[in-house]
Amino acid sequence: MSRTVLIERKGATAAEDPNCFNRLHWALEPVAHARPGDYIVYETRDAFDSQFPHDATPEHVAKCDLSRVHPMTGPVYIEGAERGDALAVTVVDIEPTEYGYTAIAPGFGFLRDVITGPYIANWKLDRLHAVSEQLPGIRVPMCAFPGSIGVLPGKPETAAALEREGALAAAGGFVLMPDPTNALPTRMFGAGAPYAAEGLRTVPPRENGGNMDVKAMQVGTTILFPVLEDGAGLWTGDIHYAQGDGEVCGTAIEMAARVTLTCELRKGAGVNIRYPHVEGGSQLRQTEPSRFYAVTGMPMKKKGEVPPHLAYLDSPKVAALTNLSEDLTMATRDALLNIIEWMVREKGLTPEQAYVVAAAAVDLRIGQLVDVPNFVVSAVLPLDIFQG
């Protein structure tokens, strides 16, 4: 017989909440136990841990502490789950709070060198639409999903992530390495704590899931995770009210929420899952726009430009090129810049407003990956979000 297991939100911030963590590790202790088939209700915190009031301004964004990002709720021990199994997690319901936000934080986001911020749009939320005084005439329909959801990494996966991310950081890649500043739980990851140097940041997704930001993982879908530690350690947080595929400015419509999950065990099936899989039905059709405008992008740039994703390569050679070969990131950047330019010209938005709309509603889609040297990416803007 199914039970309901509730993990409550406690305290004003994650530091006061015994049911939260913001660093990942195999040794995290469960905050609750559940059986397969139980309804597990997570009261989650927003991605920036309540740093923004409902009337937040760009000054709040400029002063925010990114070391507090991604307070997650859990983990929950699933009885019977063993390493090598698959955990099939179904998203049953997401109840939004009344407030959400989309922020452009300096130094973060896909176009961080072009639209630098700080900027914030405050949204009023219900189960139908989100509206914002900072984006008059725009109404974004609810399409909620967990921006972050996963199981605990195993001891070998934790070690492997530290090794490969450390090597990438040493090579000049943009990587957030372990940092005890505001790390939770303090007893594990704070300064001088036993795992301070091993607490993985929650920004990148990994084998165990995490910050995947895939809007296909919405209510009604089932996400398959490899069980990497006995008990699985199921957790979630960073819930998105709505998001375009890409989350390009670094945030979606972020919110605290009440999330209901249920799960089943598939014994031995985890060995065939390297990264999470998703099972779904009509969910994607329901989010397709009735009217849209799309632009395309290709891997071309201005001579002398060195985008952030290429900065750690041979910069003089990159700067000399105007056409890059088989560069999907550059094609995506081009498509995004083109749709922002279109919204500025045709809809009268500022670049910051258009960037936020793109993060909340524009889907970036790969057209082709074979017509060398120019891959094609499209940016699809739903027109029904514009009222009047």
Q: For the chain, list the domains and their CATH numbers.
A: 4-286 (2.60.120.580), 292-385 (3.10.28.20)
- Dump pLDDT digits (tens) for 22-45: 999 999 999 999 999 999 999 999
Query: Dihedral (C-alpha) 173, 366, 293, 220: value to the nearest 10 degrees?
Result: -90
Q: What are phi and psi of 178, to 5 degrees?
A: -50, 140
pLDDT for position 315: 81
Q: Report the alpha-carbon distance of residue 369 to residue 266 in Å, rounded.
A: 35
Which SS3 state, helix, strand or coil, does residue 55 take?
A: coil
**Tens of pLDDT along 330-375?**
999 999 999 999 999 999 999 999 999 999 999 999 999 999 999 9
pLDDT tens digit sequence for 107-125: 999 999 999 999 999 999 9
Two tokens, residue 143: 């399409």
9 has a pLDDT exceeding 90: yes
Q: Per the confidence metrics, is the pTM higher than 0.85?
A: yes
Return the pLDDT at 203.
97
**Rounded CA gap, 124 and 136, in Å?**
12
pLDDT at res. 312: 77
Per DSSP, the chain holds a count of helices (H) and strands (E) of: 7, 22
Of residues 171, 208, 212, the one with CA closest to residue 86: 208
Does 16 score more than 90 pLDDT? yes
Q: Are 100 and 123 in contact (CB under 8 A)?
A: yes
213's CB contacts (< 8 A; 6+ apart) are 147, 148, 205, 240, 243, 247, 252
CB of 123 within 8 A of CB of 357?
no
Using the predicted structure, report yes or no on whether residue 311 has a pLDDT greater than 80. Answer: yes
DSSP codes of every residue in 81-142: --TT-EEEEEEEEEEE-SEEEEEE-TT-STTTTTS---EEEEEEE-SSEEEETTSTTBEEE-
